[in-house]
Copies of this chain bind each other. A is one copy, B any other.
Amino acid sequence: MSYTTTDSLFQSVELETQIRRLHRAVGNAVVDDKHLVFAAGSMQLINALVHALSPDANAASPPASVVATVPYYPAYRLQTAMFDGREYKWGGTTALWANASRDSTSGFIEFVTSPNNPDALLREPVLGGSAVISDHAYYWPHFTHIPAPADEDVMMFTISKPSGHAGSRFGWALIRDENVAKRAYDYVQMSIMGASRDTQLRMLGIVTVMLANLHGEDDIFAFGHDVMRSRWRRLNAVVSRSRRISLQKMAPQYCTYFKRIREPSPAYAWVKCEREEDEDCYGALLKAKIISRSGVANEARSRYTRISLLKSDDDFDVLMERVTDLVNAEKYNDAPGSSSM
């Protein structure tokens, strides 16, 4: 198996065609005026795109500041800090800069995750003058309504979320500007000589099957939405009885893919512990044998923690049992005249 595919490229032209078809058919991204860059997962795209949007090493410009809005996906900070390049640095959260003038944030690169990981809400950029990397890993109709095709300058997608093939390590960027796309492509080429061609072949099969079944009986998004909506509904039903924990608020919304109002179906529950003594929400859930990820990693307060709803049915049933036990254990003295509220 050679290093290259068609035309001495490191990426399959046929897979590129099928990915463009998938975006058009789902209606979640405008692809016609974009360049497509493959990578070993969207994880690799974090630094590839930061590199591509940063000033050239030979430029006199100061390093770009890489920022995100709380609660944000921790890998943006961790990966930027690990590579620790001379052309960029982690600049903290957008809250530090939100009141700065548009001009003074012109050297910024802002990660905008929409839907957001961990809280599943759609997002827009916060800083005015920054270059934006739109991470649309979860922008597929099983996880969110699709109000319109995304059309930002620099967008990240991954196969991990639409089909669940996270271990395959395959992601792609849609990039409007040719020079930015070339720098991102060169980054992937120079760091790993392109995403594995074994993986690209497998992705070709997967994307083709997904495409062939859209809006049919085996529509992966209809299936995924059914499962995730049901989980969110069950979790909400229990947590709504609790005064100890609460979830992010999500409303039914019109979806252009399903052509109807759809119920929320997030990948993650963003849990807040409401009691004063539950300062460490992760710890409070762990005592009830519920494993989550503390909001500290997202630079949210420790009062928040993320529960993943992406698991097997059996594991989700166990999770529901434990959440139910936790909520049932709450005891309040709500007799008339009590002030315990």
Contact = CB atoms under 8 A, between A and B. Distances in A.
Contacts of A79: 190-191
A199 interface: yes
A223 interface: no
A75 B191 CA distance: 9
A197 interface: yes
A160 to B, nearest CB: 8
A1 B86 contact: no
A149 to B, nearest CB: 28
A166 B40 contact: no
Nearest to A48: B191
Each complex incorporates copies of this chain amounting to 2
Contacts of A160: 3
Interface string A35-55: 000011101100100010000
Contacts of A75: 190
A304 to B, nearest CB: 23
Contacts of A44: 191-192
A30 B312 CA distance: 42
Contacts of A192: 39-41, 43-44, 169, 192
Contact of A202 (B51, B170, B191, B198): B198
Nearest to A39: B192
A100 to B, nearest CB: 25
Nearest to A47: B191
Contacts of A39: 192
Given A166-B1, A196-B199, A187 B82 contact: yes
A260 to B, nearest CB: 31
Interface in A74-91: 75, 78-79, 81-87
Nearest to A3: B166
B78 A166 contact: no
Contacts of A84: 57, 85-87
A82 B191 contact: yes
Interface of A: 1-5, 39-41, 43-44, 47, 51, 57, 75, 78-79, 81-87, 160, 164-170, 186-187, 190-199, 202
25 contacts: A1-B166, A1-B168, A2-B166, A3-B166, A5-B167, A40-B193, A40-B196, A41-B193, A43-B191, A57-B81, A82-B191, A83-B83, A83-B191, A84-B85, A86-B86, A167-B197, A167-B198, A168-B197, A169-B193, A169-B197, A191-B191, A195-B196, A196-B198, A198-B198, A198-B199
Given A1-B166, A40-B169, 9 more contacts: A1-B167, A2-B167, A41-B193, A43-B190, A82-B187, A85-B85, A169-B192, A169-B197, A170-B196
